Structure 1
Amino acid sequence: MKGYWLEGLGVVAQVLLYYLWPMFAGPTDGIAVVLLILLGTLVLSGALGMGSGKKIKFLYPVLAGVLFLPSIPIYYNDSAWIHALWYFAASAFGIAAGSLIRYLFLTLQEKGRK
């Protein structure tokens, strides 16, 4: 149950980043573009952390993309739809990379014990 608590906390943090942080960026101008790129980086780093855990979270990439969709008409213009796909791809890559890092770490750890 504790693992689900941490996953839920990660999703809540994601929602806060998507919906509260853009309020401070102002209208769609240069800072909004930086915000969209920075959010993608945060999604990737969160996915790396989730992928390096004990179990792989396959639902996180879908949530990363879908949770961003309702914020587009609120904060951005129509050109921001592609960012939902970017967040999905970045989080899927992060989950895969985190899982690979965990696998390699455990493999090296097992070889060190022998």
Structure 2
Amino acid sequence: MDKIKKMLPYLLVCIVAFYGLPLLGKDTGSFMTILLIAIPLICFISSVFYGVKNGFNFIFSLIVGILFIPTIFIYYNSSAWGYTIAYAIVSLAGNLIGEFFIRRRN
């Protein structure tokens, strides 16, 4: 339970990106920019900070991917399923880089 509490601030950043940024979309082009640039960048940065603060945690990246799933039904269509895996991988990469910074610092 303590690990989940440590994840919450970083997951909330991802949740705001997943559920808030699509509200800014006006057309297909803006939605694609949000899906391909804004959300992955926010997930990556959040994951790096999580990794620096707490080390590597595979579950964090898995949760990031799972949190995106409801947005497929709310904002997008079935073609967005691949982004679930993509965001989990982006989060995993950020988490690993964050842990790398910890090891390098020590």
Fold shared by both chains (TM-score > 0.5): yes
Aligned pairs, number:
105
**Residue-by-residue CA offset, 1:80-112 (whole Å, 9 max, x unaligned):** 111110001011111111111210121xxxxxx
| Distance 1:78-1:54 versus aligned 2 partners, 3 A rule | closer
Query: Which one has the bigger helix percentage?
Result: 2
Shift of 1:46: 0.8
TM-score, normalising length: structure 2: 0.86
Identity %: 22
Deviations 1:47-88 (A, max 9, x none): 111111144333210111000011012111221111110001
Please identify, of 68-77 and 17-26, the stretch whose mean Cα deviation from structure 2 is larger.
Answer: 17-26
The TM-score with structure 1 as length reference comes to 0.80
Q: CA deviation at 1:3?
A: 7.5
Q: What are the equivalent positions in structure 2 for 1:16-35 lying under 5 Å apart?
A: 16-27=16-27, 29-35=28-34
Paired letter, 1:35: I
SS at match of 2:39: helix
C-alpha RMSD of matched pairs (Å)? 2.0
CA distance in 1, matches of 2:61, 2:3: 17
Shift of 1:5: 4.7
| Long gaps (5+) in structure 1 | 107-114
Cα deviation 1:4-44 (Å, max 9, x = unaligned): 655212222221211122112135x0000100121011111
1:96 aligns with 2:96: yes
Q: 5+ residue gaps in structure 2?
A: none
Question: Which of 1 and 2 has greater Rg?
Answer: 1
